[in-house]
Amino acid sequence: MNFETLLLEQREPGIYLLTINRPQALNALSPRVIAELTSALASLQADAGVRALLVTGAGDKAFVAGADIAAMSAMSPLEGRAFSLAALGLMRGLEAAPFPAIALVNGYALGGGCELALACDWIVAAENAQFGQPEVSLGICPGFGGTQRLPRLVGRAMALEMCVAGRAIKAPEALRIGLVNHVVPAAGLMEKGLELARAIAARGPVAVGLTKHLIQHGQDLDLENALRLEADNFAVLCATGDKREGMAAFLEKRKPNFTGQ
């Protein structure tokens, strides 16, 4: 697919790299970027061969420095709501995708950039990465899910500090509070992402997708119902060809050949 603001490429079998390609604007999320990200994600979700998605920003200064302020400054309330809802749909699409998404944060991940990273399943940060929700300094609140995903990940107190005081945090602190999974030198960011993606791609894709679903949705249920949801999905997986292949490979001491069936 051809995009104006994105680059989408297959890096290895089953592993795709999606790059927001607006380095001159620090990869800011304009309405066009949101629309193209949504379109790219839909095409990937329609491809049963996708096993993992890496998401990053072009250049070495920013993953995404935020939403496009020039575009937002002229928005009416109705236009602002439509922009927010479109972005929220994208973020929910990332969460609902049957394959994990890994954010590779190279530089600034502020506002909408932090929210995009939060919607991914893993965050790998370069040592120079910075995270923040500075929207209150513009007279607005986060609009792409930051007030809801951030406290679920780092707790209410830290989320309030980041969203209400607008404090940005650097990569080491982001790792300490559980916002990111790994911090690596900038030069090793892509390789670390590929390492994680390869580990995912080697597993049964149906099991990966359902396990992701369980972890995401079980947290919003009481423990008893969450455990029942797990048991139901365990039963579903027992009927798959991947389950038969995985267990046969284990017993035969060979690598499994998963097909996603």
d(C-alpha 21, C-alpha 6), whole Å: 5
CA distances from 150 to 55, 171, 180 (A): 19, 16, 11
For residue 37, the one-letter residue type is L
Secondary structure element (H or E) that encloses residue 132, with its range:
strand 130-132
Active site (annotated) includes residue 12:
no
Question: Which one of the listed residues 4, 36, 95, 135 is annotated catalytic?
Answer: 135
Closest to 105 (Cα-Cα) out of 93, 95, 118, 96: 118
Q: Judge residue 187's burial from the number of C-beta atoms within 10 Å of its C-beta, 0-12 exposed, 13-18 middle, 19 or more buried.
A: exposed
Whether 135 is a known active-site residue: answer yes
Q: Pick the catalytic residue from 36, 95, 115, 224.
A: 115
Q: Which residues are catalytic?
A: 115, 135
